[in-house]
A = this chain, B = another copy of it.
Amino acid sequence: MYSTTEENYLKTIYKLQAQLGTFINTNAIADGVNTKAASVTDMVKKLSEKKLLSYEKYKGVQLTEKGKKVAVETLRKHRLWETFLHNQLGFTWDAVHDIAEQLEHIQSNELVEKLDAFLGFPSHDPHGDPIPGRNGVIKESNFILLSVLKKGEKGIISGVVNHSSLFLQHLEKNKLTLGKTITITEVSSFDLSMAALLEGKEKIQLSNEVVKNILIKKLA
C-alpha cells in the first residue's frame, strides 16, 4: 500500500509531533529520515496529495487521521518485531532496532496479527515502549524516571529514554536490564549520582546521566 520511504516519513513525523507539538518543520523531518531538506519538501508534497498530512508552505506539516493510522501501524510492527528479535531470537536490546527498521515494512496484516499472538500479545517492546494494539490504541504507561526516586525507594526497570546503542550497551554491560529491581540507598547532593542495590543484593553506583534515562515502575 505505502512504500518503505513513505512509512518512514510518516513514522518520523508522528514521533516528532508527539514530542514537539503540532506543526513539524522541514529540517526536523530531514534529520529524522536522514535526507536533505529539499528532498523533504518534495516528499511532503506527495504525502499531502495522498491526504496523509496537511502541508502549508513555510509553516510545516501535520498528520491527518489517515496519516496517523499508517504511522501507528508501522510503529506497531516495529515494536512487535523488536520484541520477537529480543524475546525469541535472543538479540540484545541494542541490536534489535536496526533490523526492526527493515522488518516493519513487510506487508501482510495476517503476519502482524499472527506474530502478535505468537508473542503473547506483548504490551511493551524491549525498550519499554508501548506496543499499539490492532485498533491503533496506545496504552500510555505511567513509568517515571529513576532519577526522581528518593533514598530508600525502589522500582522495576521498565524502559529507557535514550535509545542509543551506546547507552543500551552500557546498561547491558551493567546488567541494568528490563525487569530488574533497583533500590536507592543513597543520592549524592553533589553530582546527583545514586548508590543502589540491584535485585536487592548487588551494590551499584549510577551517574545522573544514567538514572535520568531509565524509566521505572515504582514499587510501593
Contacts and interface: CB of A to CB of B under 8 A. Distances in A.
Interface stretch (A98-106, A187-195, A196-204): A98-106
What DSSP secondary structure best describes chain A's contact surface?
helix
Nearest to A111: B99
Interface string A84-103: 01001111000100110011
Give the copy number. 2
Interface string A102-114: 1100111011001
Contacts of A121: none
Contacts of A110: 91, 95
A89 B114 contact: yes
A103 B103 CA distance: 8
A180 B184 CA distance: 60
A83 to B, nearest CB: 14
A99 B107 CA distance: 8
Given A88-B118, A91-B114, A106 B108 contact: no
A106 B89 CA distance: 15
A115 B84 CA distance: 11
Interface string A75-88: 00000000001001
A89 B115 contact: yes
Contact of A99 (B88, B95, B108): B108
A172 to B, nearest CB: 16
Contacts of A118: 88-89
A85 B91 CA distance: 19
A106 B4 CA distance: 13
Contact of A111 (B89, B111, B114): B89
Contact of A106 (B90, B99, B115): B99
A103 B102 CA distance: 9
Contacts of A95: 110
A87 B91 CA distance: 21
Interface of A: 85, 88-91, 95, 98-99, 102-103, 106-108, 110-111, 114-115, 118
5 contacts: A85-B111, A89-B118, A91-B110, A95-B110, A102-B108
